[in-house]
Structure 1
Amino acid sequence: MVLLRSCPNSANFSLVAYLHGLLMAASGVRFYQMRNPTGSPLTRILQVILAALRKRHSIIHDSVALQEIGEAVCLDGEDNLYTKRKEFLDKACIYAGDTSPWSFCSTTQLDETKVFLRMLPIFISSLLIFMPFTLLMTLTIQVGRTMDRRIGTFEISSASLIAIPIALHMFLQPVSSRFITPFLRRMTGDKHGISPLQRICAGSMCGAVAACVGALVESKRKALAEGHHLTRTETNDTMSVFWLVIQFLLLSAMELGSFNGLVEFIKREAPPGMKPAAPAVQSALVGFASWLACIFIKIVNRHTRYYQGGRGWLDGSNFNRTNLDRFFLLLAAFEFVALINFCFWARKYAKENKNLVPRLEDEGHNYCGQ
């Protein structure tokens, strides 16, 4: 809306840019690698769980052969891993006379389900890491709208502040691939520099530091507002918006580390049918994190009203009268606890992965258990 008012032809420019991008994408169709649809990976996982529940009273014997039902279930020709432990889900592969996919599952589906369930704690703990990010990014942009946005005679529009973290992210991406990753590769010997789980941890640490920096900047901004008697106004042009650059930089580093690290983790560790959905899983977790962030704000406001004279930390639209600095410190503490929780599950996941052994094969049949 701001751009449309300032530039009458901006809608035409946007349309031309969109059509240009669409033509560029269409021109490379013949070079794309097309894959035939293999069904939803979540459907395959639900089939295993339901089949195991239906046969929960069955007993797995050492001599029970668990056969693959068709070559289509072996996605991408990848070998799956199999644990030596007998588990409840193994009952989904017992043949009981019904070959329906909701009653009899292949060992490939069983392996995919087990891998997904091992990854589930990583997804949930990543969700807790992402929640402070959504609040920090949103609140930092909103605070920036109340600050001095002038560069000489030019003034940055409030709607354009979102471009600052985007530009910093675009700057950090090549810096990371050209300098940071090669340096870490020499230090660790890993071809990717560090593992995806380590990238998520590094991004989380950047988020915690960003919250602490945000608290310091907000304290200074509020002190200037009180010193210039601006607490009853919603602006504070005594402090430049560029004080937020360090905070935006750390948040961009968190996005580069944690968000991209989760996508890389899914592409490396997920079952073959789930790997193409890695960006969608990451986006879904960010969406859930945004939803949790709204609940978190309501909880904080409700509990802080009891000893704040009926006014919560984030009540009202005037940031000069809120306690945003305290809220940022609370987010830093939350991020730190989420990081500890993630490290626990990441270490547990890495330890369990070392216990995996290649699936046993005998004359074309797969066996469950030893």
Structure 2
Amino acid sequence: MQKIAARSSGGLDQESQLQLYRNSPSDKPTNTDIDKHDIGFLPVDIRGRPLVRKGNTGTWKAASFILATEMAERMTYIGLLSNAVSYLVFRMHLTFPKASDLVTNVAGASNLTPLLGAFVADAYLGRFWTILVFGIIYLVGLVLLVLVAFLPSLAPSSAECSAYQAALGNCEPASEGQLTVLYLALYIIALGTGGITPCVSAFGADQFDEEDPSEMKYMPSYFNAFYFFISVGSLLSLTLVVNVSDSIDYKWGFFIMLVSMFVALVIFLIGTPRYRHRLPSARLSPLTRIAQVTVASARKMRLKAPENEQELYEVFDKESAIVGSRKIVHTSDYRFLDKAAVPTEAEKDQIKENPKLIPSPWRLCTVTQVEEVKALLVMMPIWCTGIVTNMAFIQIINFALQGGTSMNREVAGFDVPVPTLASVATILVAIALPLYNQYFVPFMSRLTGDTRGISLLQRQGVGQLVMTVGLLAAGVLENRRRAQAWALGKQSNPLASLPISGFWNVPIFSLIGLGEVFAMVGQMEFFYDQAPDAMRSVGVAIFTANGGIGAFMGSAIVHIVNKVTPSPGWVAVNINLGHMDYYYFFVAVLNLANFFLFLWFAHRYKYKIVSKSTKREAVLLKALHQENAHDHAHAGPATVGVAPSDSRLY
């Protein structure tokens, strides 16, 4: 291990010595008995001990394993969603609306279960162990799905059922028992995604130290890179997995997905020695802390919140009363919640008698705990507008695939599968994200002064507008496709080939992909960045949850629209007999109205302000002294400790 020589020996100055020490490779764990409340958002090792030396951990060398893990996992998940509708229709013999409904519900569940995974990660296991445990659950669901695809007894017979009859819903449907096994597999997979989705992106961001400017500058690039690898995984899925399923058999497509998820977990484990971790909040879940603020403020509802914020309760002898968190600056929003931090005279006396005592948060909360709740509340209006954005995104992907089945997709004698056309959006995202980082951000930074180019909220707004244009274009294309089907007398057969080119979908998917670059990446970074330190997984889960609710919302809108529109409804089993074009226009209007609502909320939003760590230097110096003492005991006087006075690690 690298020793630190005394300054009097002619070595480096003290600050340089400390920095060199911290950046040196760690060859043994730090032995510390430091109070967890003092650690705050300081990186720790896998056992929860302060990471004194971070030279061989974190940054891109650790994040690269996480990015590769996400790419392989997305290849699995997108492969499932891309194949699911056609598999359910042509192999399990569900109707298109029922199949689309089931896929929408599974996608919705996959976006809601992350709330469970996030609470587990932030309160109990930490992000690393949550990813690992839920990844194994994910594998179990995939194994069950592969069995459904391989075993004839788990699917209805297709011996006398043509693709045409299956599309019309005239084939023998899957039995109740067969559907039970299928549903079990799909929802186990949805549960598995619940621990991975909120934790992977947050765990990758944890590899960059927010209080180290040399690392923090890479944070926006990391989120763009993260979504880039999502796009690469999606592209592999829409080409390899979809083509294998379409050209050979669905079962081999599902098998590739199983292998991909297994590889994802292997890659993730290989990177273990390089990861930095953050402390979970000592079994005090975010939900519990929210309840404590609610109860404490309700108990003191008759008290008046002081005008002077200095009279509110906060701990000053610790980094924070919440493990894994820094202090949050007081804000004037939701002042009624401040009552939870107003100490009574009896509580003031109790604190004076024992300054180190942390009162019961069910009666008295710190300003930071109150501000955690406020931070979530002020994000909620932005989150609500994201529901409609995600609903529009999911709807256009699902239904554009259905319309594309009857369009001409032939290239050089090869019939391009419809899901492969959707890969255009993914390719555009994969191309646009590096260009966004390389050219757009520097150019806009010179104009706006924002290091991100445009703010996180501005980025979301641009994405919403672009998606609205994509919806309008989809409505125009569907109007022309449907008109051709009726003009040629082919309206009774939804699979009948039409002379209109399926490649007209390319501009539409391109617009959707561009909307993703702005809206989805902006949302993901926003909810991670603005979430409290001890709720970062919850922040990402909130982002994914609006996708889940958007999926359920889309399903509900389809049912309502079909009930209030003339039979067979705008979204019909036979797309030629419905009016999907009207539906696209309707969703576009909803999305545009949602955009104007978003503008109003964004204008009123105030970004979170976090206090810089106050105990970080002391914690690192204490851990450093303990290691030096250990070295001195084993190596004699050659190792000289560094005095804590006026020492700085950052």
TM-score in terms of structure 2 length:
0.50
Give distance in 2, aligned partners of 1:137 and 1:215: 13
Of 284-293 and 136-145, more deviation after overlay is shown by 136-145
Conserved 8 A contact 1:82-1:357: no
Structure 1 residue aligned with 2:341, among 64, 75, 93?
Answer: 93
Q: Which moved more, 1:326-335 or 1:123-132?
A: 123-132
Q: Give the AA of the match of 2:603.
A: R
2:593 aligned partner: 337
Match of 1:241 in 2: 502
Q: CA deviation at 1:32?
A: 0.9
**Aligned pair in 2 of structure 1 residues 43, 241: CA closer, same or farther (>3 Å)?**
farther
1:82 corresponds in structure 2 to 330
Matches of 2:510 and 2:433, distance apart in 1: 12
Would the aligned equivalents of 2:326 and 2:610 in 1 still touch at CA under 8 Å? no
Q: Identify if the C-alpha distance between structure 1 residues 47 and 223 changes in structure 2 by more than 3 Å, giving closer, same or farther.
A: same
Rg larger for: 2
Change (3 A) 1:175 1:75: farther
Q: Which of 564, 583, 587 in structure 2 is aligned with 1:327?
A: 583
Is residue 304 from structure 1 mapped to residue 565 from structure 2 by the alignment? yes
Which residue is equivalent to 2:280? 37
Give how far 1:75 is off.
6.0
In structure 2, the partner of 1:270 is: 531
> Which residue does 1:363 correspond to in 2?
none
Residue 368 of structure 1 is matched in structure 2 by none
Residue 170 of structure 1, aligned match among 417, 421, 430: 430
Matched with 1:364 is: none
Structure with the bigger percentage of strand: 1
Say which SS state the counterpart of residue 605 (structure 2) adopts: helix
> How far apart, CA to CA, are the structure 2 residues paired with 1:334 and 1:181?
30
Give the letter aligned to residue 133 of structure 1: F
CA shift for structure 1 position 6: 0.3
String of CA shifts for 1:259-304, please: whole Å, max 9, x gaps.
1111221233222222343332211110001111111112222222
Q: In percent, how many aligned pairs have the same letter?
A: 28
- Which of the residues 233, 243, 248 maps onto 1:6? 248
Task: Kindly report the root-mean-square deviation, in angstroms, between the aligned alpha carbons of the 2 structures.
Answer: 2.9
- Rounded to whole Å, the distance in 1 between the matches of 2:584 and 2:376 is 34
Cα deviation, 1:323-370, whole Å, max 9, x if unaligned, reads 1111111111111100000000100114xx59x8989xxxxxxxxxxx
Cα offset for 1:150? Answer: 1.9
Q: By how many angstroms is 1:128 displaced?
A: 2.5
Distance across 2 between alignment mates of 1:191 and 1:225: 51
Cα distance in 2, alignment partners of residues 37 and 76 from structure 1: 6
Match of 1:200 in 2: 460
Higher relative contact order (CA 8 A, sep 6+): 1
Gap regions ≥5 residues in structure 1: 360-370
C-alpha deviation, 1:17, in angstroms:
4.1
Per the alignment, do residues 30 and 250 of structure 1 end up closer, same or farther by CA in structure 2, a change over 3 Å counting? same
Paired residue secondary structure (1:341): helix
Gaps of 5+ in 2: 1-86, 88-241, 348-358, 613-650
Distance 2:611 2:252 in 1: 61
CA drift of 1:16 comes to: 4.7
Residue of structure 1 equivalent to 2:315: 68
CA separation in 2, counterparts of 1:40 and 1:158? Answer: 44
Q: Partner of 2:453: helix, strand, or coil?
A: coil
> Partners in 2 of 1:15 and 1:358 — Cα distance?
44
1:189 offset after TM fit, Å?
A: 2.5
Contact 1:75/1:272, CA 8 A, preserved across alignment: no
- 1:258 matched to 2:519: yes
Aligned residue in 2 for 1:366: none
Is residue 419 of structure 2 the alignment partner of residue 187 of structure 1? no
**Residue 120 (str. 1) matches residue 362 (str. 2):** no
C-alpha distance 247-345 of structure 1, shift in aligned 2 (>3 A): same
Q: Normalized against structure 1, the TM-score is what?
A: 0.84
Which whole-Å deviations, capped at 9, do the CAs of 1:5-31 have from their partners, x for residues lacking one? 706865665555444433322111111
Q: CA deviation at 1:90?
A: 1.3
Which segments of structure 1 move beyond 6 Å, counting only runs of 4 or more?
356-359
Change (3 A) 1:179 1:142: farther
Do the aligned partners of 1:225 and 1:238 also contact (CA within 8 Å) in 2? Answer: no
Q: Deviations over 1:83-102 (max 9, x none)?
A: 35782111112335683322
Aligned to 2:294: 49
Q: Are 1:138 and 2:435 counterparts?
A: no
